Amino acid sequence: MKVLCALGAPRAASRYLGIGALLLASGTCSAAGPSLVPVSQISSGDTAWMLVSTALVLLMTLPGLALFYGSMVRKKNVLATALQSFAVAALVTVLWITVGYSLAFTPGSPFLGSLDRVLLMGLTFDKEAAMLSVSHLAPSIPESVFVMFQLTFAIITPALITGAFAERMKFGAMMCFVALWSLLVYAPVAHGVWESGGWLAGLGALDFAGGTVVHINAGAAGLMCAWMLGPRQGFGQEPFIPYNLGFTLLGASLLWVGWFGFNAGSAVAADGRAGMAMLVTQVAASVGALTWMLSEYIARRRASLLGACSGAVGGLVAITPASGFVDVMGAMIIGLVAGVACYWGATGLKRLLRADDSLDVFGIHGIGGLVGALLTGVLASRQIGGADGNITAQAIAAFATLFYSAGMSFLILLVLRWTIGLRVSPEEERDGLDLSLHGEKIE
């Protein structure tokens, strides 16, 4: 049965619907997990594209996000902030191969996977026998590639959160938080949305490339971190001059380009749907950047570089869940709404929330993710993705993820506050984390 599923229905389904919607067509195979198949089943074209996509998505974090975030903090915290992304990449990699992948992408309960792939046991490549293992979610590529591709998503999600608590969190506390969050929040949410038997997948929620799993998830956790850690010293009283907005442009550009792997790679195939996903990604990013700049010009009579970068990222975030489901017109609408909504999220809403979300993780990823998730329910086209949108299912998935992520993050942070503490001392914060935590400095 497993082999039959791997060879038949899921392959067709994955090509038709993408990972995010595979479950819609795989009800009969919901219990099937990774399986061993002949090498001849593997598509070299799909595999080549997924290898490239994996590298592109990793490029978003290293060095994209490290540059993007590191350049927006004050000079005394640049190295510490960039290091957070780098360290998260290393930490999550180890956790992912140890247990994260198994919890997220093997059949189990509707809320969590099994332990069948702990330490990637069972992941096989036997050259002599010409057999290898594939995931039931991506039967045309080796499971090793699928593990790596999904790992890059697992890396960037907690790395995004680090922007919310920048310039004030202990390095050790940050590492503990990310470790616990990856296993207790990311893995269950990824399983619930992307695994065939996941509970949100069963509702019919569409999330092509991670608008809910990555962006709403990270945004909600970021907001909770900002609240729990409290504002930075001098917040609201003195200007926090960003270190170098030139590097911000560089980081944002790497994110933009890497996003092609993120969205088009989520088709798990080198096909027309991947091409559409890439096209709508470019359109939404561009419209998002233009809309943010226009909003900024109307509100402040100027358009800024940081605004253009932020608008592009907002558009990219919002198109993420929709990228395999909408046409070009849909992408323009999503980019337009995201540009305005994320601008409000990073300015007006930020003031309302009264949280020092240092680099606007919630304002851009949380709000952009919500916009994308909800509009996917409105704009999804059966012609493009093989499924119609359902705004109710989208709203349930989006808000369930928002509240679960925020609640679990709160509990994790509470435990860490009681044990090792969350914040650096006031003296360390004044001196800057580069010097006080890492003994390094930019001159």
Interface with another protein (CB under 8 A): 72, 233-242, 306-307, 310, 343, 346-347, 350-351, 358-360, 363, 430
| DSSP reduced 3-state for 231 | coil
Q: Taking the complex as a whole, how short is the minimal distance between the CB of residue 370 and another protein, in angstroms? A: 18
DSSP letters, 295-309, are: HHHHHHS---HHHHH
Q: Are 208 and 21 in contact (CB under 8 A)?
A: yes
Q: Taking the complex as a whole, how short is the minimal distance between the CB of residue 29 and another protein, in angstroms? A: 46
What does the DSSP 8-state code read for residue 205? Answer: -
Residue with the two structure tokens 């074209």: 45
Q: Taking the complex as a whole, how short is the minimal distance between the CB of residue 354 and another protein, in angstroms? A: 10
Q: Taking the complex as a whole, how short is the minimal distance between the CB of residue 239 and another protein, in angstroms? A: 4
In the chain, how long is the greatest CA-to-CA distance? 67
What's the Cα-to-Cα distance from 264 to each of 3, 209, 213, 260, rounded to whole Å? 27, 8, 16, 5
User: What per-residue string of b and e applies to 376-392 under the rule 16 or more CB within 10 Å gives b?
Assistant: bbebbbeebbbbebbee
| DSSP reduced 3-state for 360 | coil
| DSSP reduced 3-state for 123 | coil
| DSSP reduced 3-state for 442 | coil
Bridge pairing between strands 131-134 and 125-126: antiparallel
**Would you say 143 or 429 has its CB closer to another protein?**
429
What does the DSSP 8-state code read for residue 77? Answer: G
Q: Taking the complex as a whole, how short is the minimal distance between the CB of residue 292 and another protein, in angstroms? A: 9
**Would you say 26 or 77 has its CB closer to another protein?**
77
Cα end-to-end distance, the chain, whole Å: 63
| Residue of 231, 229, 241 lying closest to 76 (CA atoms) | 241
Q: Taking the complex as a whole, how short is the minimal distance between the CB of residue 290 and another protein, in angstroms? A: 16
Q: Taking the complex as a whole, how short is the minimal distance between the CB of residue 240 and another protein, in angstroms? A: 5
| Residue of 85, 220, 214 lying closest to 159 (CA atoms) | 85
Q: Taking the complex as a whole, how short is the minimal distance between the CB of residue 310 and another protein, in angstroms? A: 6
**Radius of gyration in angstroms for the set of CA atoms belonging to the chain, rounded to a whole number:** 21
